[in-house]
Structure 1
């Protein structure tokens, strides 16, 4: 199951009403569930049950769950306890476990409270809703949907908050169209949707490759908060995925002019955007600026990126600097191959041989045949004919360099001087 980095699991606080009057129905309070299909039980408990549960509820409300637990377990252990008292005791024990971060035990107790079926509708429905939220938190998304369907059936209603939880569960199950439809309905029912709701809606559009719709949502959010870097990066990513590189670049360039490009990741992202837009000089200048300001931190990826964009912009000295700093951190020989290539075409054949030897030794080369071919060329420049011939023969064993290697071998055996191959754009 994949989880978008943009979307945290949205869990509402479990605010159970645990006061001395929690079990007493307020006759003056309007009925929040006029269409409920559940037959509401009549509250019934003994004076001793009422005393113990009232005290336990107060203790739980004061974060004294350990003191409340014996009172609660006394009720649970009493086989003659009323359904109301027993349900409420399990609800309290569930809250105690939840406060202790024991969510599995909390769910078990909440479900027991529901199974006993002794609480008024308001409490019963609240517990059922809390169970759904805990299931979502525990990544039991299908179970959460089943519980919420049950909640809707029993209450005879839907709320924007409940629908938002359903949409989140659909998103986690990768049922993105259901997530979109459900979230849109939730948002239509309130004039103050939670920010996390719009994030789920945007991410669902994104996963369905509906980038214009996703971008529209983020644009609306940015209109209210134009300096929000999280939204800025999200919108840039959406543009990139939608093949709108220039729009992404314009967005980030404007952000840079506004002083919003301030972190290591900001500079790396902007550098990559320039590179993908075929603007290597701007990419190199951006990354060099980040290093000069000590904002871009030393790392293999950052130094390799510097080498790449400087190579593309034909700034060979800068490229050599980047690859040379990346080399000690490399896990394979590809950076050293790039160094060898740059050294060779800078008439530094000795350095080229050293770098290419290191590249071949480290292995996992994407262009292994080219590495042998180029090292052979460099050794030929150094008049190391036997070594050059050995490398060309190895290069002849690779399909990508077979023809070129055989041409060199034939020329060398015929006494023809090997001309330096033209430099290719990397």
Structure 2
């Protein structure tokens, strides 16, 4: 099953720094008319400074970072205008951000703010950029503090700012607050960004609100039924809520419409059928569906003949009651496996058939290669030794099983019945 962390894909900082950063046309109205900050007077008088500034930002907006950095650094080194220097710092910060040098961007943005000569629109734009850069640098509390300052002094609310706030709060594990922030963002926008719902769903998942998680994922899927990402997200949400039949339904619908095409998709659907089979009184029909999915994927050369896939096929065959087919699948997995899981499965089958010597050989092979649950493997070995009337070997195996927390109680009880110590 996929972990909750899968819902975090796409949670990235807003690309606000990548937008056009400078416009030489005078603005008629301020973007922050209710700001509490008193705007300083500008000191940009030299035409040469204006030209360097314009060339730098033009290059920046075209993606020519090298030219932009040269023009703006020249301005920063030579100009006597505090405004020109502050705007050069701002542009250089964007260049740093675009190359993922977030710490460099943060330092330059802070210098631009400390300069003290930026007009209100530029000042608050830089302050907002700082919050974004801090989030990208994983400085979530600092980003949140900067955003709070931007909103308090600028007296402005935007959908995007609340989405950034929600991301910060999510990263700080303040899930109820994150949910509230993203809901606020969505209420302020006619076209919410898809990643906002990702933050919202991740917050619901992390706070155990599975019903809310499923609802928003299903709503998103209903709105975008052919979007692979919406399908994937809905499946992840349903798995998180342990609504496996519903997850299967979504996957089968996507499969019928030709939207289920990767190996991971096929393996996941087969796994869902297999796990459902284990939890029902009549497991055979669901196990057969798991088998059919894997075989279809293999016949289309989508599902690769790996040890892991053969083990899944073998398990499904076993649950469906087709022991020869299960054995064959596990045998195919043996030479491909890097661990002892296939050997352990074969050992269990041989043990069920009272082939104790064969089972012992296979379980020893499994133990030597390593398995996920070593205690369980030693319990199988103990049963093999019991069938071979080897009490000493049985006790030795049980003592090993007693060292595994998952099997310790059962192993110690059996050792007690044999009159042996668990140590």
TM range (shorter): 0.7 to 0.9
| Deviations 1:353-388 (CA, angstroms, capped at 9, x unpaired) | 43234234435533244333443366x4xxxx7xx5
TM-score by length of 1: 0.81
Q: 1: distance between equivalents of 2:83 and 2:414?
A: 88
Correspondences of 1:328-347 after superposition (within 5 Å) = 328-346=335-353
Partner of 1:217: 216
| Deviations 1:74-118 (CA, angstroms, capped at 9, x unpaired) | 54345x823322322322332343455433222222211111121
Aligned partners of 1:133 and 1:144 also within 8 Å: yes
Q: 2: distance between equivalents of 1:7 and 1:295?
A: 26
Q: Among 303, 307, 310, which residue is 1:300 paired with?
A: 307
CA RMSD after TM alignment: 3.1
1:9 matched to 2:12? The reply is yes
Q: 2: distance between equivalents of 1:329 and 1:155?
A: 62
Q: CA deviation at 1:62?
A: 4.9
Correspondences of 1:54-73 after superposition (within 5 Å) = 54-67=54-67, 69=69, 71-73=71-73
SS in 2 for 1:30: coil
TM-score by length of 2: 0.82
Aligned partners of 1:16 and 1:126 also within 8 Å: no
Distance 1:361 1:390, change over 3 A: farther
Query: Which ranges in structure 1 are unaligned for 5 or more consecutive residues?
Result: 409-426
Q: 1: distance between equivalents of 2:70 and 2:302?
A: 57
Distance 1:405 1:46, change over 3 A: closer
Q: CA deviation at 1:311?
A: 1.8
SS in 2 for 1:136: helix
Query: Which ranges in structure 2 are unaligned for 5 or more consecutive residues?
Result: 278-285, 403-409, 419-423
| Deviations 1:108-165 (CA, angstroms, capped at 9, x unpaired) | 2221111112121111111111111111111111111111111112211111111111
Partner of 1:202: 201
- Larger CA Rg, structure 1 vs 2: 1
| Structure with a larger share of its residues in helix | 2
Partner of 1:50: 50
Q: 2: distance between equivalents of 1:201 and 1:396?
A: 48
SS in 2 for 1:180: helix
Partner of 1:84: 83
Greater shift, 284-293 or 37-46, is seen at: 284-293
Q: Among 253, 262, 284, which residue is 2:291 paired with?
A: 284
How many pairs align?
Answer: 395
Q: 2: distance between equivalents of 1:34 and 1:253?
A: 54
Q: 2: distance between equivalents of 1:132 and 1:100?
A: 17
| Deviations 1:174-209 (CA, angstroms, capped at 9, x unpaired) | 211111101111111121111111221122112212
Aligned partners of 2:131 and 2:143 also within 8 Å: yes
